[in-house]
Amino acid sequence: MPISPLLAHLAPSSVAPAALRTRRRGCLARRRLLGERKTAMGNKGFDLSCSLRKEDDDPKLSPFLRKLFKEWDDRKARGLFHHNIGSCETKVLAGEHNFVATLIEGRDQKKRPTQFGMNQVIQPFDSAKFNFTKVNPEEVIFAFEEAQNDSEKYFDNVPHAVAYSPSAILINVSPIGYCHVLLIPRIQDCLSQRVDKESFLLAMYVAREARNPFFRVGYNSLGGFATINHLHFQAYYLKVQLQYPVEKAPMEKLTTVGNGVSIIQLVDYPVSGFVFEGGACLEDLSDVVSKVCIFMQENNRPFNVLISESGKRVSLLPQVLH
């Protein structure tokens, strides 16, 4: 069944049916990225505190998270963040959905300002405005490239000598939680905040490489709370509850498309949304979701995406331009 009829109410025009793309043998060509330390949430103050206690000896942490946590802690020790994330407090709210609230004093005043209008989801990249090629080099945790085997290749900083444009992971200097980072696909290509199939698949690979239920990757479109018009995804580690409220909301299956990918609708939830899961491999799931994202962008409909369960599940929340 084509995807477009399911989403026809989201925009005035339709898209072509989602075609199955040719797969490499068994979808088993695994691309390694790279890659810790866990935090624990203590009971105090606002109910829970993101006090950055660490669990250094957990053998289950992936090499990717071990590397990421180590480098993030290093940037924190250097004082590169715009506010003190160690003093923030987090609370699981009472009620049907158990939303998570975090008190972060000073973030709105110190974060990088928005420099574009909120009336268009697709806007051209403007090199005169802030973008991630202008960050302090110390904000770069590492740059990386994909490999066709189980090897890894990464650089501790973006290498100026390379002739290609690597993808990079940066700290978010205005973090909302522990290990809040930014994933910038092909950073030197200066892509605008607009999902394509390749960039979304990269975000899915990062989620898979973490191999941890508390690490999630997200995306905000322009008009959907993105504040920088340079293609980026966000990710962070929140060990408050195993599932976010949107992940445990009541659901109703709509259909199965592609190579076994299920499309599910949220029901009895404060906002409308869809969940995507299944498929013969991660590439199948990524392909379907990226097509929906592209459909929404082209019809000027903002949205948010949450990649969870190490890339096995994707939530998509449509928004409305104001």
Q: Is the distance from CB of 70 to CB of 39 less than 8 angstroms?
A: no
CB 230 within 8 A of CB 192: yes
| Cα 55 to Cα 279: distance, rounded to the nearest angstrom | 34
From the number of C-beta atoms within 10 Å of its C-beta (0-12, 13-18, 19+), residue 95 rates as exposed
Q: Which residues on neighbouring strands pair with residue 183, listed in sequence order?
A: 169, 233
Is position 232 annotated as part of the catalytic site? yes
Instruction: Give the span between the Cα atoms of 24 and 31, in whole angstroms.
Output: 13
Other beta carbons within 10 angstroms of residue 243's beta carbon come to 12
Residue 41: helix, strand or coil by DSSP? strand
Determine the 3-state secondary structure of 51 from DSSP: strand
CB 13 within 8 A of CB 299: yes
234 touches 220 (CB < 8 A)? yes
Percent of residues in the chain assigned helix, strand, coil, to nearest 5 = 25, 25, 50
Catalytic annotation, pick one of 83, 180, 230, 232 = 232
Q: Which residues contact 197 (CB under 8 A, 6 or more apart)?
A: 286, 287, 290, 291, 294
Active site residues: 232
